[in-house]
Structure 1
Amino acid sequence: MNTPVFRFAPSPNGELHLGHAYSALLNARLAERMEGRLLLRIEDIDLARCTPEFEAGIYRDLAWLGIEWERPVRRQSEHFGDYEDALNRLIAEELVYPAFMSRGEIRAFIADTEKRGRLWPRDPDGVPLYPAFDKALSRRERERRMAHGALFAWRLDTDAARARLGDRLSWTEFSSEELSGSEQIEARPEQWGDVVLARKEIPTSYHLSVVIDDALQSVTHVVRGRDLYAATGVQRLLQELLDLPAPRYFHHRLILGPDGRKLSKSLGDSGIAALRERGASAADVRKMIGI
């Protein structure tokens, strides 16, 4: 039987809060209980927002919570070549296309459409889907625009990808945080439209990098927040397209703020460092989050 491999994968674009503490401690507890491995991955593909100071804070907070992880830590910014190889494969198989509409053009088109009385479809996070007019462009026109320096993003052609796979797409979801019981969940990547897989300023995306990393690190169990439940559909689609193994998933409850909303890194009162500075102990934090 393969050794279970868990991972905690924060982005160093702010301080860790109680929600991160819950996820990290749950992963650590499960890895220990199942005699598995716990990896720490630093998801720092957004070089403009991620900083060494926040990364150092992650290590400090996790150590204070009593969490131990394997070394070396995988930092995504050091592995852009891995993601580029996967993207190039999808380009060669014509499963992605260059999308030339800017964010401003997208907003203007959708606003005009809705002004005319037509509701524009949105993804599970409430973001309008991309108007995929670029898919109708000929290869010659795409190449002409790219050769002339037009800005673009590589987007997944979700319809083409689903047609390529054909079979019903699903993932295994555990029923409880004890990882007891499971069910097959239908993956619905079409809910997200044609997602971005790479931009000029960021040569990969969360969806692409996370499936590559999970495969390269032999992750068997992805335990993360419920807010990423629907996104699993896109990631399962990419795993199948790239012939990557599929981990099993558990999307745990979210730790909510006093206003009932999901915690944010901008909420300093729930930050682990802020709690520590006010005299809280690691045991206090565990009690606060119910673990």
Structure 2
Amino acid sequence: MSESSSGERALQERQKAHMARGLPKQKPIAGVKEVIVVASGKGGVGKSTTAVNLALGLMANDQSKRVGLLDADVYGPSVPKLMNLKGNPELTDNNLMRPLMNFGMPCMSMGFLVEDTAPIVWRGLMVMSAIEKLLRQVDWGLLDYLVVDMPPGTGDVQLSITQNIPIAGAVIVSTPQDIALLDARRGAEMFRKVNVPVLGLVQNMSVFQCPQCNHQTHIFGSDGARELARTLEVELLGDIPLHLNIRETSDKGQPVVVSSPDSPEAEAYRRIASAVVCRLTEESR
């Protein structure tokens, strides 16, 4: 090993030790085997739709697996709409919240605890308290995977979650356009700094196919996420097309993986779910 690389390695170790100083000790979520976070550097790239269909894809690929979905996007919860769920969670005898269920999957979201149209104008401490409740005061039962829909960006919520619970891996969602890729790279680097394995990138809205003539157009550019994955030395987990079927089924609260299981779009999400499981197996070795 060269002197410069040895010095760089020592610097990285000192930085990790400094970041870990005074942090809360990670504690697993009761009953949950593996936590998968779905994140993006910026909003508007289809992260929540990807998280929902990834979770359903994990179940569709292996029906023996029990999968839950946690919406950690406190300011803009999307899971209630995407999963067609309304109402308040019931409490167990131990004062834990019971997740709401649809399509055979338990879900928890801040959207179940506030009014649909109520703006969440909370300061940092209130947000952290809400995240703590979502992590520690939910009765998930026994789950093989808990998929967490993270808020966009690299702020307090992301750091709080990664510092409080052990995370098996992160999936980064981006569109192929340069500005989204720049933020996706920041997100990936953040997870690396807090020692969360980056399972790979999902290239969303990769291509638009005209429903009339089948002509394909790369509206947001082509293969940008593939190039970023190569640069970061992580896997490209798959491509999701910009398709009307995905948008319509999401708006109706009928995710494409369950409402159009034979469609190419549903197959794309199931392939990504398979790739995620393969990467988790590699990381656990």
| Same-fold call, TM cutoff 0.5 | no
Query: TM-score band, normalised by the shorter chain?
Result: 0.3 to 0.5
User: Could you state the TM-score of these two structures normalised by the residue count of structure 1?
Assistant: 0.32
Q: In proportion to residue count, which structure has more strand? A: 2
Q: Bigger radius of gyration, 1 or 2?
A: 1
